[in-house]
Structure 1
Amino acid sequence: MSPGTSITVLYFAAARERTGCTREEYEVPPGASVADVLRRVVGRHPGLERLVPHLRVAVDQEFVGVDAPVRPGAEVALIPPVAGGGPGLFSVVERPLRLEEVVEAVGGEAYGGLVTFGGSVRNETKGRRVLRLEYEAYAPMAEKKLAEIGAEAAAKWPGVRLAIVHRVGVLVPGELAVVIAAAAPHRKEAFRGCEYAIERLKQDVPIWKKEFFEDGEVWVGLGP
């Protein structure tokens, strides 16, 4: 390949399973778009065709539309549906979580309101017993998006500080998957900031979960 004429495509969760790899190099012509890249990807991996309508695409860690240009040398991530500012803590980790770590990141004498949320793995989903969950993330982009959520909350409610830590890897029922803390001078803003973080986390942060049952498994967001 000539220098500057290729791009890197990253695959996650269901896309990774259907391609059998985590990253590949593709040749792109000058002026290539995301749609052009998707056509090349499906041409190489026909099993992805049914998944493409469910995908979002990030170019260099920013979500874009199918008409967006893709420069030679870009990093293009195929993002299946996800599971789900200011000073704070925004991390994706592969270890057990502690609620105290997010509390310590945002607390302070000026913050009279402090609200926390801990999301743990349930032992059943729609009547099916859960054996374990496996979380996967596009970690650099996920941490960037978590920080953006913090900045959005601070803009909506001045004085709000957020901290969010999400775990990846294998988790069993009862273990914490995410911990969130929101601090503000007053309790109302702290409650709103925490709720906002929970809802936004489900929308744009590239973290996926796969549920394993006694009778099967499923990527959350894609159905059986």
Structure 2
Amino acid sequence: MAITVRLFAALREHVGHSKLELELAPNETVGSLFDRLFVDPALQGLRPSLLFAVNRDYVSHDHELRDGDEVAFIPPLGGGAPGPEGEPIARVFLSREPLNLSALIDCVRGPGRGGITTFTGTVRDHFEGRPVLHLDYEAYEEMVLPKMAELCEIIETRWPETSVAMAHRVGRLHIGDEAVHVAVGAPHRDAAFAACRFAIDELKATVPIFKKEIYEDGSQWKAQGGG
């Protein structure tokens, strides 16, 4: 059977390609495929925190592959664009250009929403005492917007009458640049603050965007949740 493998961050750098086309025997699982492709102990060290996706949905390591599948090995995570069916998702954004917080706030305004909270993540100039020169972000772009939209729906179910919007940059960002925005509108401030905190935490944990910190003396791929 024929499958496509998508690679990101440290795995992409190790292989030297972002995509592989492979022929597999029947009964291969996504976990066994990873173990065959990546025998390097350093890469096997990623295994416990790795996420697996098949056809842009997260799956367990024992998920059995089928002909035509697109597999993604996702290292630890830390204007409108097409959604899964080509329709615009008007409140989730992935951009190579500077983000617009005012436009995001407009997405969550409403006559019944008395409180709007926002979170902005910016590029800091150090990590554990090491000067940071800049960050490079990359993403599994076809999966990012659907996962962001799914997260918005989860939040709006958990906190009724809220509205959520979020945006993230990709590409090279310099010190002080804005990397991510989250905006939440709610009837009252308690729900707005709680939903906003949940949104940024889950975005970092579940949306496949990858961050590389560049230092004067080297570089390192970082888990999104650590920042």
TM-score, normalisation: structure 1: 0.89
**Which residue of 194, 205, 213 maps to 1:192?**
194
The equivalent position to 2:223 in structure 1, one of 198, 202, 221, is 221
Match in the other structure for 2:81: none
How many corresponding residue pairs? 215
Q: 1:59 aligned to 44, 49, 54, which one?
A: 54
**Partner SS state of residue 14, structure 2:** helix
Q: How does 1:26-45 map to 2 (within 5 A)?
A: 26-42=22-38
- Counterpart code for 1:13: A
**2:35, 2:44 within 8 Å by CA — same for their partners in 1?**
no
Specify the SS of the correspondent of 1:16.
helix
Residue identity over aligned pairs, in percent, reads 42
| 1:108 match | 110
Distance in 1 between residues matched to 2:126 and 2:45, nearest whole Å: 28
Asked if 2 retains the 8 angstrom alpha-carbon contact of 1:88 and 1:106, the reply is no
**Is there any run of 5+ residues in structure 1 with no aligned partner, and where?**
none
Partner of 1:161: 163
Aligned counterpart for 2:8 among listed residues 5, 8, 12: 12
Contact 2:183 2:196 (8 Å CA) reproduced: yes
Out of 135, 140, 143, the residue aligned to residue 141 of structure 1 is 143
2:212 to 210, 213, 218: 210
| Counterpart secondary structure, 1:196 | helix
State the alpha-carbon separation in 1 of the partners of residues 93 and 21 from structure 2. 28
Structure 1 residue 65 displacement after superposition? 1.3
- Secondary structure of the 2:154 match is helix
Residues 165 and 183 in structure 2, CA contact (< 8 A), matched pair in contact too: yes
Aligned partners of 1:19 and 1:47 also within 8 Å: no
Residue 73 of structure 1: aligned partner: 68
Q: 2 CA distance for matches of 1:75 and 1:46? A: 25
Mark the CA change 1:197 to 1:166 in structure 2 (over 3 Å): closer, same or farther.
Answer: same
Query: Which residue of structure 2 lines up, in the alignment, with residue 152 of structure 1?
Result: 154
The one-character-per-residue Cα deviations of 1:35-67 (angstroms, maximum 9, x if unpaired) are 332244237x89744444442110111111111
**What SS is found at the alignment partner of 2:106?**
helix
Counterparts of residues 175-190 of structure 1 (less than 5 Å): 175-190=177-192
Distance in 2 (CA, whole Å) between partners of 1:122 and 1:58 is: 31
SS at match of 1:69: coil
User: TM-score, normalising length from structure 2?
Assistant: 0.88
Aligned equivalents of 2:25 and 2:98: distance in 1? 45
Correspondence 1:88-107 to 2 at 5 A: 89-107=91-109
User: Where in structure 2 are there 5+ consecutive unaligned residues?
Assistant: 79-88
Give me the whole-angstrom Cα distance separating, in 1, the residues matched to 2:211 and 2:31: 27
Letter in 2 for 1:118: T
Aligned with residue 19 of structure 2, among 13, 20, 23? 23
Residues 88 and 162 in structure 1, CA contact (< 8 A), matched pair in contact too? no
**Mapped partners of 2:9, 2:156: distance in 1:** 31
